[in-house]
Amino acid sequence: MALSDLWFVLIAVLFIGFMILEGFDFGVGMGTKFLAKTEREKQLLIHTIGPVWDANEVWLITAGGAMFAAFPHWYATVFSGYYMPFVLLLIVLIARGVAFEFREKVDSPKWIAVWDWSIFAGSIVPPFLLGVLFSSMLKGMPVDGDMNLHAGFADFVNIYTVAGGVAFVLLSYLHGLLFLTLKTEGPMRKRAKEAALRIYWAAGIVLAVFIGLTAVYTDAFASRQAILIPLFAVVLILYALLHRLIKKGREGFSFTVTAVTLAAVTASFFIGLFPNVLVSTIDSAFNMTIKASASGEYSLKLMTFVALTMVPIVIGYTIWSYYVFRKRLTEDSEHLEY
């Protein structure tokens, strides 16, 4: 495998890791608006992700950095062409992070309400925007022969990209609710389970619609059907079993299924794109390929050496932090203030 192909796979893995880990804390953030009924319950939900949410976001930062270093042309085209969506993404992620730190610093209902809405917006907008981003890249964008992107509103927002965004939002919320069944006790655990059973059908329908639209609006199945058809078949079978797993209280298996579903949907974008990094709707000759967008061989070798050294440390730290904060929480737990 060429180093450029390897780094395309590594970037896909980073985005998959981000959607699995940040997906559940996005879902918990949505739960602060839909699930929590009292201030104590909001504190409980925030505390379940308090020790890990910022570490989860590192996966997104690392993925962006890896794109910049390994595929500078891809990075330049995407980050300039998607400038406004990325600015919005950055604003809501910053507002969310600040909200976690600030909301309990002033004992004022108005102050807390502002930061509660920041947490909600910072939890529901990012998965939607990332779904739109991935879907539009796979569907194709107007990229010219100089790797400039000339996108209009309809290129960003159309039935396929919106379906991708809504699918990520609903799957993240379901993933977050199942995380809460693992991390809480008492009424909140029961309520999270009941909410997961309700949102299950909506998320499943949107997931099935999104898969169907992928076959209609993209060339992914035509070029990668040998991989995508078995992949989505496994996802749909697992998802069909998920309702029974939730009802039986198999919380670990249920959470694993939503993690696999998010991973498979994210991976499908990269599988469909390969060997391109961006599809052009102007002319297929303008498709940005992995090889043409990659850095030089020396840079990729150096990056590979650094990654092989640092990635085990990052994975080890992540596992350790989840182990340390593995305890279930209740409303009666001490030190819920964040």
CA distance to 47, 171, 321, per residue, from 126 (Å): 20, 13, 24
Estimate the crossing angle of helix 3-34 against helix 39-49, to 10 degrees: 170
Both structure tokens of 158: 């159309």
Rounded distance between C-alpha atoms, residue 85 and residue 290, angstroms: 24
Which neighbouring-strand residues pair with 288?
Answer: 278
Average pLDDT across the chain, whole number: 91
Alpha helices in the chain (DSSP H): 3-34, 39-49, 53-70, 72-81, 83-102, 109-139, 153-156, 159-183, 187-217, 220-247, 251-273, 290-293, 297-324
Per-residue confidence at 174, pLDDT binned at 50, 70, 90?
very high
Tell me what pLDDT residue 338 has.
61
Tell me what pLDDT residue 330 has.
76
Between CA 37 and CA 43, with CA 41 as vertex, the angle to 5 degrees is: 130
Tell me what pLDDT residue 196 has.
96
Tens-place pLDDT, residues 187-218: 999 999 999 999 999 999 999 999 999 999 99
Query: In this prediction, what percent of the chain has a pLDDT beyond 70?
Result: 98
Tell me what pLDDT residue 273 has.
92
Is the distance from CB of 81 to CB of 149 less than 8 angstroms?
yes
**With 90 as the cut, is the pLDDT of residue 186 above it?**
no
Tens-place pLDDT, residues 124-173: 999 999 999 999 999 999 998 888 888 888 889 999 999 999 999 999 99
Backbone angles phi, psi at 321, to 5 degrees: -65, -40
Which neighbouring-strand residues pair with 289?
Answer: 276
Q: Which helix (H) or strand (E) holds 70?
A: helix 53-70
Tens-place pLDDT, residues 294-336: 998 898 998 898 888 888 888 888 888 888 888 888 776 666 6
- Three-state SS letters, 43-59: HHHHHHHCCCHHHHHHH
Tens-place pLDDT, residues 25-64: 999 999 999 998 888 889 999 989 988 888 888 899 989 9
Estimate the crossing angle of helix 297-324 against helix 3-34, to 10 degrees: 30
* N residues, the chain: 338
Sign of CA dihedral 14, 161, 237, 180: positive
What predicted TM-score, i.e. pTM, was given to this entire model? 0.92
Rounded distance between C-alpha atoms, residue 202 and residue 166, angstroms: 10
Rounded distance between C-alpha atoms, residue 154 and residue 141, angstroms: 10
Is the distance from CB of 89 to CB of 108 less than 8 angstroms?
no
Query: In this prediction, what percent of the chain has a pLDDT beyond 90?
Result: 64
Is the distance from CB of 19 to CB of 134 less than 8 angstroms?
no
